[in-house]
Each structure stands twice: as structure tokens, then as C-alpha cells.
Structure 1
Amino acid sequence: MSLPPGFHSEKPNQVCRLLRSLYGLKQASRQWNAKLTLALQKHGFQQLSADPSLFTKSSENSFTALLIYVDDILVAGTNSHHIVQLKKYLDKAFRIKDLGPLNYFLGIEAFKTMDGIYLCQRKYTLDILTESGFLESKPARTPAVTGLKLNNSDGDLIDNPESYRRLVGKLLYLTNTKPDISHAVQQLSQFVDKPRSTHLIAAHRVLRYIKGSPGKGLFYSTSSEIKLQGFSDSDWANCAETRKSITSYCIYLGDNLISWKTKKQATVSRSSSEAEYRALASTVCEIQWLHYLLTDLKVQLPTPTPLFCDNQSAIAIGENYVFHERTKHIEIDCHVVKQKVHEGLIKLMPISSQRQVAYGFTKSLSKPAFDSFHSKLGLQDIHAPT
């Protein structure tokens, strides 16, 4: 490294001795995490194996949880005195800045009431609309045209693909509090390498949809029952080019939606039953992780967890240990479903397609079907006029 401007010395060939890690070096974040982890462990916190960014400390009359994202920290607990002591300890060790009660964290706004907590990304949404020039646009009723399937051949290549990539990246982060746009954004993210005009039009449709209610978010009730239930669905051979299927699931803690996903499967499924079975495997892994996480948070869950699927053949495969001609080619990791059914972690339950909540994560729905799907997600907009 070169000496800073204005530095003069009579001795030639001098070097600079670093007294601390420079921000931005490859090892800086790892060193910071190691130092913070050591400091918290000295204070009595335990790092959870299910989520290394989550630390907990429990005693006879209190429980404290601490969540870390680089150098941003969230603290929650049952004893305010212990939280004050923790902040004093961290301030002495690192000179922290106390931002007070939770109201804004990494672009997510939080509003607490006696009935629960409401999470949204209103400011983040308005910033996206302003930057894209859609703040004054006409709102759309759904995030995608009914039955829309994008491909790599329709339309012309756009001149500025970087802007499309930035927009899709921002929309992906927006799905943290807006699960209703998950399927539309999943479709857009498949074409970030060579985006075309049709893809950009579909992205603008999503912008027009979120323009209708930028303050819409998730509400988590304090009176909800502590019980997990999952919904798994798949759209067989959805991709017209690769013929790969889509895995989708959503998991509720009581009436509160806490986990959801929409993703293209890695391999081609030979039947709709196989596609549904692969989706079940992904859902089971997520349920198992949630059990680990909630157990570390001192939450006791009843078992087995009901997992709803609208494909009877996939349920039969998950409950039957006999390998048939149609299942012997399926990868071994998918048979985690059978193992967890046998262990009593989950119980596969049939459900009609009309009542399948995860159905909206696999297809672009019409307005009536989308409204039905939207009502089951628990989305609210406290900024909307009554």
C-alpha cells in the first residue's frame, strides 16, 4: 500500500503497520464475527446450531435472544433489566449505538400493538417505484398476467440488462414481507442473464401491482396457537424449455405465515407424482429445521406436524416403504419424507386443490383465484384508509 498524502518522513522505505482490520477486506467480516461471537459467549450466550446468527441466554426467570446481521443486532427478551445489562456490556466492548425499540431494520418496518406485530416494507417499496418511474402508474390487480409463461425466445434483448438485474434483486428482497409476488418474481429471476423486452414488461406488471398497496405486509398475532402446519404443492413440467417443475410450500405457525418458497426443481420429473414428492421433501426439510429452531427458542411444538398435499399418489409414496418401478429412480435424499413420517415428525394429509394454500405459489392466477389465495396469506395494510 502507498503512504497517505501529506505524510513526510526522513527515513526511506518505510511501511505501515496495521493496528486493526480494514473494513472491506475479505477476512474483516470473518474476524468481526469471530470476535463478536466470543464476546457474547463470555457473557453467557449460546450460539444456536440451527441458525449461527442467533444467540440465546436463558435462566430461571428470563430468556434473551439476540439476532445478528453483520453489525446490526436485534435483541428480544422477557426481562428488560437483562437487556439493559447486555447493551451496557456491548457498548463497553464495541461502543454500540442504541437505536431504541424496533421500528426499522434492514428495510423492514415493524409496528407493535397489543394484538401483535406488523411487518412491511413500505419505504423500500416506494423507493423502488420512485427509482423505476412507476410511482404515478396505474395499479394492476394481480402481479402477473393469468397463465403467463416466460421463455428465452420471445421479445428483443434489452439494451440495459443491468437495470433489469437490479430490479429483480430488489423485488426478491421485497418478497420477505410480500409472499403474494413470490411466483412472479421467481419467473423473472430465471432470465437475469439475457433479459428480453417481454421479461421487462412482466417486471413492470409487478411494479404496478405493488403500487396498489405499498404498505401491505404480514401481521403476526400474539394470540395465535403454537402449532405448525405446512402446505406443499408443485406445478409439473412448468418450464416449457427445460420441462422442469416448480416446488412451492408455505408453513404456518398457528394462523401466522412464517415460511414460504417458490423454486424451480433441479431435475426433470417423469410424472406429477414425482414432482409433488420432490416438493414434499423440500417442505419436510424446512419443517425439520423449524422444529430445531423453535426448540432452541424454548418453544414446545406438538407432533406430528400436519403436512397437506393435494396429490394422493405422492402421499402414498411417502407413506409406503416398498419401492415401485415408478419410484426407484428418485434420489435417496427425497425419501427423507418416508423417514420423517416413520419418526412421527410429520403426518401427510390429503387436501383438495381448491383449499391448497401453496397453489398460488406455482401459477399465475386469475383475479378471483388470486383473491382467494391472497386472503389465506394473512396480508394486511395498516396504511390503507379504513
Structure 2
Amino acid sequence: MAQPTVTHFKALTRVLRYIKGSPGQGIFYSSNSILHLKAFSDSDWAACLDSRKSISGCCVFLGDSLVSWKSKKQTTTTRSSSEAEYRALATTSCEIQWLTNLLDNFRVNYVKPALLYCDNDSARHIAANSVFHELTKHIDINCHVVRERLHSKLFHLLPIASIDQSANILTKALDPTHFRFLLSKLGILDIYSPA
């Protein structure tokens, strides 16, 4: 915001055009789904052209309903896509921990453990293995919250194909067809759209 350029203005007008063209769009919350936390974690490595910092994205569902989502530039520049994905996993695991504590405090019965989906094999292996020294020695110690929470059985870490990764919508520019597909997976409906 300190030094906006024409590129920033074009991005802003594109977002405003999308919002104006979708006045009836909103999240549908189902009243009859099984209460099970499912989270999707993703990262777009070195996506910011100015700083080369990565973008983390996560979305968390309770049953079929989207209850939490985040998209944020990572605080440090990562040296690999695995590290960027692992940092996104750390953010998502903290979100799962917070939601689990919230549900427990409200005494809501839900299926345990949560499911966490990640489309990066290396990040999943780093979380599961404590012996990946060469890949992990430059990763900040704080990111190892993933491994700690995985071993405490807070969640199961599962693979997902990149095309089905719901968090992609929060980290990458997508073609319109894939964008609409992921919107439907997030439970986004347009009340003005024909059924």
C-alpha cells in the first residue's frame, strides 16, 4: 500500500469485479453432516515477486462445512518448496489444535483424530520422520510443531492430489474452471445461480 503500481490497481479491480458479479455467493452450512475436522494445507513457493516469500493457505472443515480459512505470506523466505509446504503444515496444525480445544471447551462430540491433507510428499515425510536431517537442518525449530502434534495423534497426515487440494484456491491464481470446481468443494453456493 505504500507504493502501489498499475499491477496492484489491476489486481484490485479484478477482485472488485468478481465481488460485484457474485452478490448471492456464500458458504452453505449443512445441518446433517458428521462432525469430523478435515484440513487442507498448501503453499505456493516463492510466489511473491517482490520478496520471494511463499504464500501459505489452509482451510478447515467441520463435517462438510468450511469453518476456518487462511491465506498469508510467510514471514521468512524459504529455500525449498518442501520447507514452504512444511511451514504451511505448521500453520494448519496450529489451527487444528485451536479448533480442537474450542470444540472440547464447548463439549461438542466430534470424530477424532482430525485429518490433515497435504499434496507435498517431502513435507509429509519430514513430519513423519525425525531422521530427515539434510532436508530439515535449515527449517526453523518452531516448524517442528507439526511432528509433535502428529505424534500426539491430534491429526492424521494424508496425501491428496494437487488438483483436488482445496487450499490451492487460497495460494495460487487458477483458471476459471478449476476455480469454480474448488469453490464448490469449499461449500460456496450462489443463491442466484440456477440449480
TM-score, normalised by the number of residues in structure 1: 0.49
Check whether the contact 1:221–1:256 (CA below 8 A) recurs between aligned residues.
Answer: yes
* Aligned counterpart for 1:380 among listed residues 177, 181, 189: 189
Match of 2:161 in 1: 352
Q: Distance in 1 between matches of 2:51 and 2:21?
A: 34
- How far does the alpha carbon of each residue in 1:314-351 deviate from its partner, in whole angstroms, 9 at most, with x for none? 00000112251221121111000110111000111011
Shift of residue 384 of structure 1?
Answer: 4.8
Q: Which residue of structure 2 aligns with residue 175 of structure 1?
A: none
The letter for the 2-side match of 1:240 is L
Q: Is the 8 A contact 1:304 1:345 kept in 2?
A: yes
Structure 1 residues 17-166: aligned runs within 5 Å: none
**Cα distance in 1 between the residues matched to 2:14 and 2:49:** 21
| Gaps in structure 1 of 5+ consecutive residues | 1-191
2:3 matches 1:197 = no
Task: Report what 1:121 is aligned to.
Answer: none
Residue in structure 1 matched with residue 73 of structure 2 by the alignment: 264
Per-residue deviation, 1:201: 2.1
| Amino-acid identity (%) | 55
- The residue type paired with residue 299 of structure 1 is V
SS in 2 for 1:326: helix
Structure 1 residue identity aligned to 2:110: L
Give 1:253 shift. 0.6
Instruction: Output the aligned Cα RMSD.
Output: 1.4
Shift of 1:359: 1.1
Distance 1:320 1:385 in 2: 49
Equivalent residue number for residue 103 of structure 2: 294
Counterpart residue number, 1:148: none
- Which residue of 2 is the match for residue 328 of structure 1? 137
CA distance in 2, matches of 1:197, 1:354: 31
**1-side partners of 2:194 and 2:163: how far apart?**
31
Query: For residues 83 and 187 of structure 2, what CA distance do their matches in structure 1 show?
Result: 30
Q: Give 3-state SS (helix, strand or coil) of 2:178's partner.
A: helix
2:52 corresponds to 1:243: yes
Query: Structure 1, residues 285-340: CA drift from partner, whole Å, max 9, x if none?
Result: 00000001111111122222110001111000001122512211211110001101
Q: Residue 133 of structure 2 aligns to a residue in which SS? A: coil
Q: Is the 8 A contact 1:232 1:280 kept in 2?
A: yes
1:285 to 94, 103, 117: 94
- SS state at 1:304 partner: strand
* Residue aligned with 2:148, SS: helix
Structure 1 position 383, deviation (Å): 4.5
Q: Distance in 1 between matches of 2:38 and 2:151?
A: 18
Letter in structure 1 aligned against 2:107: K
Tell me: higher relative CO, structure 1 or 2? Use CA pairs within 8 A at least 6 residues apart: 2
> Partner of 1:199: helix, strand, or coil?
helix
In the alignment, structure 1 residue 215 sits paired with structure 2 residue 24: yes
- SS of aligned partner of 2:179: helix
| Residue type at the aligned position of 2:64 | D
Is the Cα contact below 8 Å between 1:231 and 1:357 reproduced in 2?
yes
User: Which amino acid in 2 is paired with 1:302?
Assistant: V
Displacement of 1:280: 0.2
Distance 2:70 2:60 in 1: 9
Classify the secondary structure of the residue corresponding to 1:277: helix
**Residues 213 and 384, structure 1, Cα contact 8 Å, conserved in 2:** no
Provide TM-score, normalisation by structure 2. Answer: 0.95
Partner residue, 1:228: 37
Q: What SS does the aligned partner of 1:308 have?
A: strand
1:38-88 CA distance string (max 9 Å, x none) = xxxxxxxxxxxxxxxxxxxxxxxxxxxxxxxxxxxxxxxxxxxxxxxxxxx
